[in-house]
Structure 1
């Protein structure tokens, strides 16, 4: 099952600390139309005990008016500072749409860059609460230079500390690039928008009338483009999601993982045998499998709507945060495509960068063949997936549940790419291709001459399955460590993590 942010995170089943106090504070915050919370209230709501330590609050910007007059812009439209989240220091930048539409000027950029450098130097995650109209037009080149300086620090920070963007309003032009340079982006449904050019500019340039939601809404970016990774109903849920996501992440690259007390899965591991159909072509929901394995049965899923044939997200195993990449047979049989490879590569690369153990759950028939996928650069994206796994500087544990065919088998965290431990379940099939496809190529003359081709194909496929695809052949080759029963999987994974120095002993 996936995490319910309200009940699982704020009720304290996932996190420790003053969660009830934070929930009460979120519920009591004043409503401001058209936005729920002010820029500072958003930052305050993230912090333990509401203690947001703002810095540079009195650094204002100014807007030039007629006859040389100037209008002050309080804090130049951005509140920056830090607070404790789960008792750990975290940097926060919150755009203030009430000041010049949250647009980015030179002073605004000075403040954000100061915060970014502070966070990098002190090993703090950075939360960006985005609500900005983009570069401040009347400042011209100074505004553009400021945007570029923020982007440069985004890139520098990406190698050092986790960065999470929350889109709480329209973010146009230059304001859309910074979120795309961070690790994870959360969007508020019907309120947050990301686009390089807004509807008015599109209309002027092309004559096209386009709805803002169709151009850059949360649905578009979590389902179609993959630019955003989580869509939430309102601002409060967005803030709760940030709190939940941070609970799985270290403070910085090379930092310790945030361990918690182990919890039993939601469902018994004994149920696994009944969850996996014997026939490899029959679908099942991999989320049900995960609910029998991970602590509390809960997974914090990211990019759930984007290429749903593979599941990515975070969970815990024996109290240790883990990353999950899992084939989802319920959606298109778990097959991979260009988007799925892009999704997996991004997730694996993040886990590898910050040392989060990667668990891969394999039931993959291959990559989708055909001209459409070739035009979508499936080769490039597939190679990127290979690169991400091979380059990951984190423990890699792989479980082959059923099918593991062809290049997709290699790409899904195989031993060849550096997996530390690989297990296969007894019903798994590991081969260049499935039995039916293989005999169609290997035995095409025999099939063409057969009086009953279907019966002959079935018999040959059974023979191929028995001689070629069975997992013990992979064990004999040293490519799989062991064949285990599904109900042994949690124990095997836990022991492996302990052997790698993670978790309680």
Structure 2
């Protein structure tokens, strides 16, 4: 790759432009409920959600924020009134979930609920202790129909984590009311802030309406009462910083150990500059690029042992390590997956499971090849073999969408439905049933044939308008911010951060055991 070429400069400028757009949306998530509500929160002497997270983490340690663009493109505030991510507390990697009380008092909306579910899934799959930083008014009542019934999964997950001997900790800074009261109620450890935390199934007005009983916040659900009378609070903190200190002390005494193998003690940084990652992917995803250029800037020492390099060369497979953790890499080279590529991937996935090696999928595929000769040569059964292997592989999978991820190729490359432990996207990524122009063209052909079968004239003017409308819609729905808003990825990352993000993800997955599958079911040969 020539980093001084005009093509590289054009690619880099395009990538930087996309990053600027994404940073503007990230800023909305950081802003929470806006200046007015942030100031009101500060005037009450309270820390913001992200300040609480920062104080909880070990000094100068990174925080891998997850789903920061949740709710993008919806009626809800970007971020979904929740901050989630993985950070190190007293040397232990933990899932941290923090309510943002500047957004409607931290009330849970449908996007925030989905974001919380995703964080809980990641914690469960990777055996991560969970710390909830709680200050929430419960459900966003106008959207209760989308929250109430599925919301019970939150509390079921807490109890199942405890049963699996993975600790759950709740630090309660303010209101935790109605169904939200069960969040501390079902946590292993509970810290409440004196004169601030309020935990009750029903507040004084509702109690008055339901029973006629007169009560006040403190006697009904205050931190002091729960610490001295009900026993719901295990620790009574004098203020927010004291609650965070107590939370860190709890983690320190967990006697926590990882179950996965440790990384290699010594490894080299890549030989090529991560800045180059900005200029590899062209703005037009129809233009191919070599994923080896990405691999060389991500893996330890740029050392990559390619597997079957002369066979099925539209797919790159091989062995490497990232921050000392071994990985098997599966990367699309020229977009289309043929029978050879599918069979090559199937064998490689089996080998990774045989050696208990996590898999890293780098997406840039338009899907499996179509056409009469390919169908006759078995593209369906070969694609099915690859999808079977991905589905039944039990080593951890991490997916990174770099370019296109269309059709069944998205499935074969371990898309969201195939439960990768983590799935991140570059700003250049796109994902859909097929490309926008192809999809619009298919609809045009079907409409034209339908008109002909009825003996009707077909309007070329209407056809052009329909194609333009469909292309615009599908293009918008294929973009990473739209998909991130729907929680179809765990975040859009700056390409230059890829190695760090993958390293943190691999470290997280090694908190649990790493073991390959012992069987893959029936492969249709």
TM-score interval, smaller chain: 0.3 to 0.5
Scaled by the length of structure 1, the TM-score of the pair is: 0.45
Higher relative contact order (Cα pairs below 8 Å, separated by 6+ residues): 2
Scaled by the length of structure 2, the TM-score of the pair is: 0.44
